[in-house]
Amino acid sequence: MTSDLPGPDGARAATEVVARASYGKLVAYLSARTRNVAAAEDALAEAFAAALTDWPRKGIPGKPEAWLLAVARRKEIDAGRRRHTGDAATAELRQIADELAAAAAAPADIPDERLALMFACAHPAIDPAIRAPLILQTILGFDAATIASAFLVAPTTMGQRLVRAKQKISTAGIPFRLPERTDMTERLEAVLDAVYAIYTEGWTDPAGTEARRRDLAEEGIWLGRLMAALLPNEPEALGLLALMLYAEARRGARRNERGEYVPLAEQDTAKWNPGLIAEAEAVLHRSGALGQPGRYQIEAAIQSAHVVRRRAGRSDWAAIERLYDLLWALTRSPVVAINRAVAIAETRGPSAGLLALDSLAADTRLKEYQPYWAARAELLNRSGASDDADRAYEIAIGLEQDPVVRDFLQRRRASARVT
């Protein structure tokens, strides 16, 4: 017990600290054997509620996690009693009671099964669109309404999808464990994609006005650090963490004093966060030493080549072009191809860049993709085709939903007309 008894506020703050650090760990541990995530969440919610009434009176327990786990176990037994009657449930109840006794007696740490839970949430049998929301809910304890607003989905819809996904984990028998070596690369990619989706949801609020979205970026990095800590020898886990840290380092530079959007190439490098960049470089370096390049490591390396501008005054465009070549070979993503064309314009001039963009024109997906038209407009403008540039700017402006980026494109268009 702590020496001084906290007031209600202190207890609330203390439970919040424990909740942040332990929620996912406790859900993972409680559900790993039963595969019943919903029951674990319910029991844990009751345990946290009990902590809020208990801790202000009796003080914060010396092992808050073990306390919460013991209470949650008891709640699970109660719920089990309500569900089953008769002898069928007796064996199950005895097993739970034994574990409860063991939990109370043993001082050792609760095993960390969060990674197993993340692999269950991002299992190929789970709809890809619900994987990131599922991780937010089970590992971080976000409620459905908060997740829904971040992912622009109606709260009831999101709630139903989360319930269905948890049901599938239990009904289909999705395991809580690390995948076999042969499946590891593919399965890990799904988990990392979900974590990155959480980060990018937070990053897509360039104005930084929506606290909820900004929080998601922080949560994404938190999960990235967790993945990197739990899988220190998986280069792509490190690559993703490095990528998010580089992006986060530039967060403050995406706006000028007037709140206007500033593209990467024009950002004031003094506004980049040197601490985060140093951490990103160190993590990327560690991943490189493992000698297994992958998508996230290449994307992080591209960020690293941009960061060179802090010292050299110019991004290492030759390296960026090479890295986009690699990424294109790996992903065949049209988004990568656009960035590659922009890099080519830097190394070989705007007409070479335009030629690379032209080769993408057959991809119908790009007709409604703002960055394609914005890149086209820039390169057309630089090569002196101002009428064509003007039309491309107009299309890009029409496709952009963020008003701040729209303003930026409009300013660009206006200055292109003048010259």
Partner 1 sequence: MGPRDDDEEPSMKYLLLIYMDEAQARAAAAAKPDENKMMPAYTAYTEALKQAGVLLGGERLQFSSNATTVRVANGKNQVLNGPYAETKEQLGGFYMIDVPDLDSALAWAARCPGASHGIMEVRPVWPMVP
Write out the residues near partner 1 by the rule CB under 8 A.
Answer: 33, 35, 88, 95, 98-99, 102-103, 105-106, 108-111, 123, 125, 171-175, 179-180, 183
Comparing CB distances to partner 1, the nearer of 96 and 277 is: 96
3-class SS letters over the chain: CCCCCCCHHHHHHHHHHHHHHHHHHHHHHHHHCCCCHHHHHHHHHHHHHHHHHHHHHHCCCCCHHHHHHHHHHHHHHHHHHHHCCCHHHHHHHHHHHHHHHHHHHCCCCCCCCHHHHHHHHCCCCCCHHHHHHHHHHHHHCCCHHHHHHHCCCCHHHHHHHHHHHHHHHHHCCCCCCCCCHHHHHHHHHHHHHHHHHHHHHHHCCCCCCCHHHHHHHHHHHHHHHHHHHHCCCCHHHHHHHHHHHHHHHCHHHHECCCCCECCHHHCCHHHCCHHHHHHHHHHHHHHHHCCCCCHHHHHHHHHHHHHCHHHHCCCCHHHHHHHHHHHHHHHCCHHHHHHHHHHHHHHHCHHHHHHHHHCCCCCHHHHHCHHHHHHHHHHHHHCCCHHHHHHHHHHHHHHCCCHHHHHHHHHHHHHHHHC
CA distance 294 to 308: 21
Least gap, CB of 309 to partner 1 (angstroms): 46
User: Measured from the CB atom, is 181 or 311 closer to partner 1?
Assistant: 181
Q: Please, what is the minimum distance in Å from the beta carbon of residue 175 to partner 1?
A: 4
Cβ closest to partner 1, residue 109 vs residue 218: 109
State the sign of the Cα–Cα–Cα–Cα dihedral 173, 44, 144, 226. negative
Q: Smallest gap, in angstroms, from Cβ of residue 129 to partner 1?
A: 19
Give whichever of 110 and 227 is closer to partner 1, judged by the CB atom.
Answer: 110
Task: Choose among 171, 168, 182, 181: nearest CA to 122.
Answer: 168
Closest to partner 1 by CB, 130 vs 221, is 130
Nearer Cβ to partner 1, position 42 or 99? Answer: 99
Smallest separation (angstroms) from partner 1 to the CB of 103:
6
Least CB distance to partner 1 at residue 83 (A): 12
The nearer residue to partner 1, 112 or 316, going by C-beta atoms, is: 112
- Shortest separation between residue 108's beta carbon and partner 1, angstroms: 5
Q: Closer to partner 1 at the Cβ: 23 or 372?
A: 23
In the bound state with partner 1, the residue whose beta carbon lies nearer, of 8 and 124, is 124
CB of 300 to partner 1, least distance (A): 30
Q: How far is the CB of 106 from partner 1 (least distance, A)?
A: 5
Query: Minimum Å distance from CB 296 to partner 1?
Result: 24
